[in-house]
Amino acid sequence: MARYIGPVCRLCRREGMKLFLKGERCHSEKCAIEKRNFVPGQHGKSKKVKKVVGYGLQLREKQKARRIYGVLEGQFRNNFEKAALMKGITGDNMLGMLERRLDNVIYRMGFGTSRAQARQIVRHGHIQVNGRKMDIPSALVKPNDLVEVRQSSRNNPAVLAAREATAHAPSPSWLEVDKDALRAKVVGMPRRDELVQIQLNEQLIVELYSK
């Protein structure tokens, strides 16, 4: 599967906000936004800030969502088209599907300090869903699924270190997380009002793709 492999701190600077793409570094003074809060590029610091309206505003929201969840344009567009066919509000459906991606679930469980690290943990075969090994980060979980670290990976240093680093972070209500047992049960569907930390206006994305 294709993925972005460039410098991620540039993405946060481009969007002008923390996207929390580098785990613990984002919470320290080393964060790029703390040190260089201007757009990347040769003239970024001196470049006059223009007011973004219309299409530009819609595009920025779409790019921000893509970068938060670590998906490329084709995946993101497919996700929107599936959400548009579902009952309910398209924007809420779209974010709900992104939240139910397996790599995001591992991140929400606290077994990855970033979605990129969670994706790597899944790709390396450390996770199983309902007792079966699952190494596809884009796989969607559903209610009553049991997601857990495989028995052979229970002493994996990356997983244990991430668990310790995220011990203070609360788990979403749609997951019943047992950090000691390295597992979680999906007990519901993600709701938009729970995603307060995701600073997005998903309606702008819907408008962009609906043109």
Reduced 3-state DSSP string for 66-123: HHHHCCCHHHHHHHHHHHHHCCCCHHHHHHHHHHCEHHHHHHHHCCCCCHHHHHHHHH
User: Average pLDDT of the chain?
Assistant: 86
Of 53, 69, 98, the domain-final residue:
98
User: Same domain for 106 and 65?
Assistant: no
pLDDT tens-digit readout, 84-108: 999 999 999 999 999 999 999 999 9
CATH no. for residue 142?
3.10.290.10
Q: 190: closest CA among 181, 202, 208?
A: 202
Q: Rounded to 5 degrees, what angle do the CA atoms 32, 33, 38 make? A: 105
pLDDT tens-digit readout, 154-199: 999 999 999 998 888 888 999 999 999 999 999 999 988 887 677 8
Of 98, 132, 156, the domain-final residue:
98
What is the model's pTM?
0.84
Q: 63: closest CA among 194, 189, 210, 209?
A: 209
Least confident range of 18-27, 63-72, 79-88, 103-112: 18-27
User: Same domain for 47 and 73?
Assistant: yes
User: Same domain for 124 and 88?
Assistant: no
Parent domain of 152: 101-188
Q: Residue 8 has what pLDDT?
A: 72
Residue 52 falls within a domain, yes or no?
Answer: yes
